[in-house]
């Protein structure tokens, strides 16, 4: 009897899920609702009631589970199976015809068709389905690796949780925020006296990186899909991609077109250039793709862009307004950036109230004054900037802006290196810099303190528990556990990570200090040469430039940094915290098997990120450079190598596959 009753409940739940999934598609994908919002809400409530009564019947793909996850602790990194390349751009029909000429040169005797899609100004994402169920979502990232944002993408109602295809399916598309949702978010931020998002793309990117999926769900993100792989195989054409995606229930952009010539493409461009103001989402151009997949493969790709696709950007949108004030902001590296506060002006549906002025020289060159009437454009349809001043509208009441000689936040001296346009705050503990400095210090390639993410850093700073970087090494368990979403277990794990970071060694520490122009590789070169922080601190410019790969600009930056009282104080604090300032001396023998060998890398590696591969080579005594020459010993080749491969063959450079490289270092 119990079994029969449970079978009936299962049927009811299955039917409710099918009905809800159907109506979600009709509303969010097809824009053709079949029932009222109230009726839809009643279906959800019925399903929630049954699942609450019979929790053993809840499944991950149930519509009620779009926002079922607890807040996240971070976003793990995931390697893409196929790299997600960016697109090359063109800005006029002449450049587009040059693209066609390059295509025709390779496909000289073939009929070429193009698929035109609107270029959505959003966030690239890859979504994986297994056995018909939503499984994983990953950001585009650097094209090779992205962040796992599965729980957050699951909240997007236009993305199906189940599809009628049991094979493994990967789809790629663009997450975006409709104008209506963008304005609602900024209204709420304004009420809460929070910093407003500059544009819908920033809002979409910020939303998808929230650590609480329940908050993401409130943002009403949307998505268009444009590519599909079934069992990791491509379909025959881009037009077929769009057809199959639509058939499987995915949301595709309704304005995509199949064109027989480049002239037809230009006609489509002109049409959407005038009609984009009527859309409820931001587009900054069109994307043109060679339709046939076999032709795409024949055309190939560079290390950055596919040769079979290009973005044709729309002209920047412009408006006229007035400069109310000019304020100076302080960035992560201490850069002092002047920002114009504008009388709000609407440009293509977005209210612009601020524009970057870049640096002091830019203000002088354009002669921008407080009170001026100016022409503003959304450069690249994203970043507002002042194009020109309408000097004929001056009344004589306008004021010239005097650039500060000190940091406007901490009042430390501002330093402008010779030959550079940007002045910088010299204080490493400046509150405006401290948040980003802490995040850099704790990052994976620096001190590798897992769990010390943006949300926690903000809490540590606002609570006053951390006022300088060394303070993190003196945090107590009860202080951490009192913070939001930081229970005893999370606090214990973080403190273990902080303790472990004390042993990271000199190279990582130099990189973590955030010295201008000193990247990860340079930091390890310095550590290897000087062996101690005290010797590096006393080094002269001449001594530094005598080291291979250390140029005058880097040397000058290092000498200047170690003369600053704030940096001396930082080092003293880190020494008191018990950090290792000694160099981990390399052993002889097997650990120097790559000594004096020079490597160049190309393509995506399967077992290493590029940074990890460089670190391995350098730890075994080798050296990595960015360009090939007759002095290069090895070219390490990953998937989708660029032009370096053919150049290496011309030079006679030894070419290593990843398997051969692993065999070499495993010796």
In DSSP notation, 291-340 reads SBHHHHHHH-B-SSSBTTEEEEEPPPEEEEEEEEEEEEEE-TT-BEEEEE
Dihedral angle at the C-alpha atoms of 249, 255, 257, 263, nearest 10 degrees? Answer: -170
Q: What is the radius of gyration, based on Cα positions, of the chain?
A: 28
Contact 121, 382 (CB under 8 A): yes
Instruction: Give yes or no: residues 203 and 269 share one domain.
Output: yes
Which of 265, 284, 313 is the last residue before a domain boundary?
313
| Pair (610, 636) in one structural domain | yes
CATH code of the domain covering residue 351: 2.40.50.140
**168: part of which helix (H) or strand (E)?**
none
Q: How far apart are CA 166 and CA 281, in angstroms?
A: 32
What is the pLDDT confidence band of residue 370, given thresholds at 50, 70 and 90?
Answer: very high
**Residue 590 scores a pLDDT above 50:** no
Q: Is residue 491 part of a domain?
A: yes
Query: Mean pLDDT, to the nearest integer, of 416-434?
Result: 80
Residues 125, 48 within the same domain: no
CA–CA separation, 639 and 637 (whole Å): 7
Strand order of the sheet with strand 89-90? Answer: 89-90, 309-313, 283-290, 114-120, 257-259
For residue 530 the two structure tokens come to 């000087």
| Residue 308 shares a structural domain with residue 161 | yes
Contact call for residues 34 and 25 (beta carbons, < 8 A) = no
- Positions annotated as catalytic residues are 119
425 lies in some domain: no
Q: How far apart are CA 659 and CA 417, in angstroms?
A: 45
pLDDT level of residue 588 (50, 70, 90 thresholds)? very low
CB 403 within 8 A of CB 363: yes
- Residue 583: both structure tokens together: 């160099």
Please state the separation of Cα 201 from the chain's center in Å.
12
By C-alpha distance, which of 303, 183, 206, 312 is closest to 259? 312
User: Are both 98 and 220 inside the same structural domain?
Assistant: yes
Provide the CATH number for the domain around residue 234. 3.30.470.30
Assigned token pair, 605:
């590696």
| pTM for the whole structure | 0.53
- Whole-angstrom CA distances from 184 to 181, 267, 279, 284, 350 are 5, 35, 17, 22, 12
Q: Note down the domain range covering 305.
A: 89-313
**Rounded to the nearest 5°, which phi and psi values hold at 452?**
-90, 75
Provide the pLDDT for residue 70.
55
At which of 576, 603, 630 does a domain end? 576
C-alpha separations of 272 from 222, 417, 580 in Å = 21, 46, 59
Give pLDDT tens digits for 91-142: 889 999 999 999 999 998 899 999 999 999 889 999 999 999 999 999 988 7
Can you give the CATH number for the domain in which 639 is found?
3.40.50.10190
Count of structural domains within the chain: 5
Task: Judge whether 409 and 429 are in contact, CB under 8 Å.
Answer: no
Could you report the per-residue pLDDT of 297-347, keeping only the tens digit for each?
A: 999 987 678 999 999 988 777 789 999 999 998 877 788 989 999 999 877
153 and 279 share one domain: yes
**If you average pLDDT over residues 83-89, what whole number do you get?**
87
The dihedral through the CA atoms of 31, 33, 37, 40 has a sign that is negative
- Are 498 and 449 contacting, i.e. CB atoms less than 8 angstroms apart? yes
Same domain? 260 vs 329: no
Rounded CA separation 633/623 (Å):
10
């Amino acid at each position: 009897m119990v079994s029969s009753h449970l079978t009936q409940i299962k049927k009811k739940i299955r039917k409710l899920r099918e009905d809800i999934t159907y109506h979600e598609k009709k509303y969010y994908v097809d824009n053709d609702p079949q029932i009222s919002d109230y009726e839809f809400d009643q279906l959800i409530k019925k399903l929630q009631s049954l699942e609450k009564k019979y929790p053993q019947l809840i499944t991950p793909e149930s519509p009620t589970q779009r926002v079922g996850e607890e807040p996240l602790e971070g976003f793990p990194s995931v390697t893409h199976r196929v790299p997600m390349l960016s697109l090359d751009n063109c800005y006029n029909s002449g450049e587009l015809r040059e693209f066609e000429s390059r295509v025709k040169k390779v496909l000289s005797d073939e009929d070429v068709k193009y698929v035109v899609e609107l270029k959505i100004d959003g966030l690239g994402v890859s979504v994986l389905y297994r056995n018909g169920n939503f499984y994983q979502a990953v950001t585009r990232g650097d094209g090779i690796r992205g962040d796992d944002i599965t729980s957050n993408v699951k909240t997007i109602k236009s993305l199906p949780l189940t599809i009628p295809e049991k094979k493994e399916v990967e789809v790629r598309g663009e997450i975006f925020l409709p104008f209506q949702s963008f304005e609602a978010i900024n209204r709420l931020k304004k009420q809460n006296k929070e910093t407003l998002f500059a544009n819908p793309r920033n809002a979409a990117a910020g939303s998808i990186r929230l650590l609480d999926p329940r908050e993401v769900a409130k943002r009403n993100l949307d998505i268009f899909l444009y590519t599909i792989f079934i069992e990791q195989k491509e379909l025959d054409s881009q037009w077929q991609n769009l057809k199959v995606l639509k058939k499987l229930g995915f949301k595709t952009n309704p304005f995509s077109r199949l064109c027989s010539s480049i002239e037809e493409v230009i006609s489509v461009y002109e049409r959407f250039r005038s009609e984009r103001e009527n859309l409820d989402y931001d587009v900054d151009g069109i994307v043109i793709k060679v339709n046939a997949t076999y032709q795409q493969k024949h055309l190939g790709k560079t290390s950055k862009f596919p040769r079979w696709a290009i973005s044709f950007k729309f002209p920047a949108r412009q408006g006229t307004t007035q400069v109310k004030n000019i304020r100076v902001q302080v960035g992560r590296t201490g850069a002092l950036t002047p920002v114009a506060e504008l009388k709000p002006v609407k440009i293509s549906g977005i209210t612009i109230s601020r524009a970057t002025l870049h640096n002091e020289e830019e203000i002088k060159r354009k002669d921008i004054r407080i009170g001026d009437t100016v022409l503003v454009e959304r450069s690249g349809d994203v970043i507002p900037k002042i194009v020109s001043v309408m000097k004929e509208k001056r009344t004589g009441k306008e004021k010239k802006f005097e650039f500060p000689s000190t940091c406007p936040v901490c009042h430390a001296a501002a330093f402008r290196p010779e030959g550079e346009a940007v002045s910088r705050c010299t204080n490493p503990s400046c509150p405006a810099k401290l948040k980003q400095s802490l995040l850099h210090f704790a990052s994976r390639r620096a001190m590798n303190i897992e769990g010390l993410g943006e949300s926690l850093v903000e809490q540590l700073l606002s609570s006053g528990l951390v006022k300088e970087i060394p303070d993190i090494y003196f945090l107590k368990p009860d202080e951490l556990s009192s913070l939001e979403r930081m229970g005893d277990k999370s606090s214990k794990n973080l403190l273990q990570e902080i303790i472990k970071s004390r042993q990271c060694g000199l190279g990582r520490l130099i990189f973590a200090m955030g010295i201008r122009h000193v990247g990860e590789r340079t930091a390890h070169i310095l550590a290897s040469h000087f062996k101690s922080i005290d010797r590096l601190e006393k080094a002269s410019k001449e001594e530094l430039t005598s080291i291979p790969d250390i140029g005058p600009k880097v040397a000058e930056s290092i000498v200047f940094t170690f003369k600053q009282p704030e940096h001396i104080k930082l080092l003293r604090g880190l020494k008191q915290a018990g950090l290792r300032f000694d160099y981990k001396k390399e052993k002889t023998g097997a650990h120097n098997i790559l000594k004096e060998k020079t490597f160049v890398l190309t393509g995506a590696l399967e077992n290493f990120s590029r940074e990890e591969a460089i670190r391995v080579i350098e730890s075994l005594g080798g050296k990595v450079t960015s360009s090939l020459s007759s002095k290069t010993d090895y070219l390490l080749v990953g998937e989708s190598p660029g032009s370096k491969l053919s150049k290496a063959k011309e030079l006679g450079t030894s070419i290593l596959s990843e398997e051969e490289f692993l065999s070499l270092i495993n010796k």
